[in-house]
Structure 1
Amino acid sequence: MSVPDPVASFIENRTFAELAVGDHAGSVRTLTARDISLFAVMSGDVNPAHVDAVYAATDMFHGVIAHGMWGAALISAVLGTQLPGPGTIFLDQSLSFKAPVGLGDTITTQVTVTDKPKEGRVTLACACVNQDGVTVIDGIARVIAPDTKVRRPRMVLPQVALHAPAAQYARLIAATTVLTPVRTGVVHPCDVLSLTGALDAGARGIIVPVLIGPAARIAATAEAAGRSLKGVEVVDAPHSHAAAAQAVALARASRVAALMKGALHTDELMEAVVDADLGLRTDRRMSHVYVLDVPTYPKPLLITDAAINVTPDLSAKRDIVQNAIDLAHALGTPHPKVAILAAVETVNTRMPATLDAAALCKMADRGQITGGILDGPLAFDNAISPASVAAKGIVSLVAGAADILVAPDLESANMMAKQMIYLAGADAAGLVMGASVPIILTSRADNAWSRLASCALARLVIG
């Protein structure tokens, strides 16, 4: 006889007295990439013979678990939850692995009582068969069956969020491989992080770094980092302010096509960039855009403006939105969904952010902002959470699926981005848009992936 449906709302064991030879139970599962990742994380087993994981642009791990180790776990699950079920004590198990279990295989697992040799002891035949009828595992298990009846509600398994670190960034970097690297002025790269970040991007063919700053200090930094500057152009400048001015001059002369911040303060670099006579101004207001790879969000999330405009007015917000849309286009999102954030999702005359949001949406309707789908005001949860949208009954093409979050001011944008980085484990790349060249605005806290991704952003914007 078989046991009750294993997906029923209750879990129930079969005591030794209830078991008879021939009783059986089983399950059917299809091996997915998610299963492989969970198996590797749970066991710590990253042996290529067991998990052949190829990091690909699909943000998934693909592979084959050799000898059906995942299948063996399925047998244990049936024994522990169905037959005999809760209270079972494992004595020993002998399995023979007949064939590998591969990604996409559907495995039918069955255990069958074959003997009750003495009080409490039970022997079960175990088998896993794939969708082609091939036995991939067989063997026996010996257990002590429970002597007390257990029936309780089936536990709801927790949701587990799997995230391949920097997976979104890997796709960005991969997209630059078919593009010619661009000359990039690296401003004052006088610490190991900024120098190695630029050299790494150069080694990957994303940029051609032109190092601008005190030549002796740059050379000493390279020596400390164990890196060679052979073949790398160095433009000598006595200090950070001079390096910023020199870098902007090279950009104005079209000798570099992008700038990258090194070991100097953001305001030092931007002071040269925004100079009315000698800077890199266009008819567009400059703004900073974070591109975040958030473990719990299914796509890149852009947040703006977190670094340039402290309290932007409506005109500045129009440019901030357009800059972010243009960056999203460069990343391959043809119609980005733009959420204009406020504390609430309704217009409130006492809350200026809601009025600006409504005005920006109307500006998009009139063609003053192009290339994106705008909605606002939207509270943060309404912008990124489908569950919140459903609960509040919001009808919107943007709500719950935003590509771009536009904050009311710099402080809120900066805090929002930093919370995602430090509390949600997000990786952060960033770019200043609206100047005549893209500006890679790195942070001292940025890791190697973030620096490479920021360079890739600049390269994709240039086209």
Structure 2
Amino acid sequence: MTKKAVVSQFRQRHEKYERLIEVAKRMAALPTAVAHPCDETSLRGTIEAAEAGLIVPILVGPREKITKLSASMKLSISDYEIVDAAHSHEAASRAVELVRSGKAELLMKGSLHSDELLSAVANRDTGLRTGRRISHVFVMDVPTHPQTLFITDAAVNIAPDLMAKRDIIQNAIDLYAGLGLGTPKVAILSAVETINPNIPSTIEAAALCKMADRGQITGGELDGPLAFDNAISLEAARIKGIRSPVAGQAQILVVPDLEAGNMLAKNLSFLSQADAAGIVLGARVPIILTSRADNVRTRMASCAVAMLLAHSRRTQEPIRA
């Protein structure tokens, strides 16, 4: 079978996301503060997630604008609370306050910029900070790959240092375990799989693996540096003589920096028809970070992942997804 035929065969198959969504639908929907849902994509995505039983939205933004928008789209929002906020900056702050007060258990990005929402989240006095670095994970359903891939960090931390990467990895491991997926195999990616002092990411990869050996990172199997091919392909790892429980079987891919992660995620999306659900971790609650380009399935999956993680934290038990 040609490569083109294989891609065509898998194009419409996203069983991994469908499974996550179905598990989430069997659980109680959680109150979710939606910051500034003031364009068609964000408002429709919010209502569709609510109608699927994944969230109970609290719409935070200019009341009149949201009401007029819903009417023009013929969407009924009469069942949902609206918290009036004059503009996107105020909407971000008020949405965060709803979480701080316990009225909302999830936070969701609407049509405001990600930086605006995350700035409110990271505020030292009024935000949702914890002792952990805030980071982003793309939970990717790649139709031509047998496993769900977690890519981190491709959206928040631009050039993380060693200790930031420690938190980025721990956040992703905790997410993987919280979804009931077991103990993840974590690949620390670089351009090569050998230590090279001229490539700083290889030195950091080695240090991170030793940190895991010493208990500074827990709950996952780490290896690195690994190039992308020998992280996900057993055959590539075999050809290069890499003996590792992670090589060729990685489920979490830790990228050197935001640029590398963003390019990797978008390559998978546009060349392999992958969906990329987005979630921000390290804050008091999971944060649903959607993109204007996300399709319905991806938006649903982002909500499902956040919801399952929140339920896992409630019970201190992993959700079997």
Q: TM-score, normalised by structure 1?
A: 0.65
Q: Identify which of 416, 421, 430 aligns with 2:278.
A: 430
Conserved? CA contact 2:166–2:208, under 8 Å: yes
Q: Select the residue among 302, 314, 319 that pairs with 1:454.
A: 302
CA distance in 2, matches of 1:296, 1:332: 23
Query: Match for residue 164 of structure 2?
Result: 316
Aligned to 2:260: 412
Q: C-alpha deviations, 1:31-82, integer Å up to 9, x for none? A: xxxxxxxxxxxxxxxxxxxxxxxxxxxxxxxxxxxxxxxxxxxxxxxxxxxx
2:138 touches 2:152 (CA, 8 Å); kept in 1?
yes
> What are the within-5 Å matches in structure 2 for residues 6-405 of structure 1?
157-158=1-2, 160-161=5-6, 162-163=9-10, 164-405=12-253
Residue by residue over 1:288-325, the C-alpha shift from the partner in whole angstroms, topping out at 9 and shown as x without a partner, is: 00011112111111100011111100000000000111
Letter in 2 for 1:448: V
Report if aligned partners of 1:260, 1:439 keep a CA contact under 8 Å in 2: yes
Q: Following the alignment from structure 1 to structure 2, what is the Cα–Cα distance between the partners of residues 361 and 461?
A: 26
- Asked if structure 1 preserves the Cα contact closer than 8 Å seen for 2:107 and 2:286, the reply is yes
* Deviation sequence 1:75-128 (CA, Å, 0-9, x none): xxxxxxxxxxxxxxxxxxxxxxxxxxxxxxxxxxxxxxxxxxxxxxxxxxxxxx
- CA–CA distance in 2 between the matches of 1:354 and 1:254? 42
- The runs of at least 4 consecutive aligned structure 1 residues that moved more than 3 Å come to 157-160
- How far 1:165 moved relative to its partner? 3.4
C-alpha separation between the residues in 2 aligned to 1:454 and 1:302?
13
User: What is the DSSP-based 3-state SS (H/G/I as helix, E as strand, rest coil) of the residue aligned with 2:25?
Assistant: coil
Alpha-carbon separation, structure 1, partners of 2:255 and 2:231: 11
Instruction: Provide the rounded CA distance (Å) in 1 between the counterparts of 2:45 and 2:15.
Output: 18
Q: Identity percentage over the alignment? A: 56
Q: CA deviation at 1:446?
A: 0.4
Alignment coverage as a number of residue pairs: 307
* SS of corresponding position for 1:360: helix
- Taking the aligned partners of 2:72 and 2:141, their CA distance within structure 1 comes to 31
Deviation at 1:269, TM superposition (A): 0.5
Q: Contact 1:198/1:209 (CA < 8 Å) preserved in 2? A: yes
Rounded Cα–Cα distance in structure 1 between residues aligned with 2:139 and 2:25: 20
Deviations, residues 169-208 of structure 1 (Å, cap 9, x unaligned): 1101111123111000011001111111111111111110
- CA shift for structure 1 position 166: 2.8
| 1:36 alignment counterpart | none
Structure with greater proportional helix content: 2
Structure number with bigger Rg: 1
Query: Which deviations, in whole Å up to 9, do the C-alpha atoms of 1:410-438 show, x marking residues without a partner?
Result: 11111110111112111110100000011
Structure 2, unaligned runs of 5 or more: 312-321
Retained in 2: the 8 A contact 1:192–1:224? no
Could you tell me whether the CA contact under 8 Å between 2:14 and 2:143 is conserved in 1? no
Does structure 2 conserve the Cα–Cα contact (< 8 Å) formed by 1:301 and 1:403? yes
Do 1:287 and 1:434's aligned partners in 2 also have CA atoms closer than 8 Å? yes
Q: Is the 8 A contact 1:189 1:212 kept in 2?
A: yes
The structure richer in strand per residue is 1
Aligned 8 A contact 1:334 1:371 in 2: no
Letter aligned with residue 327 of structure 1: L
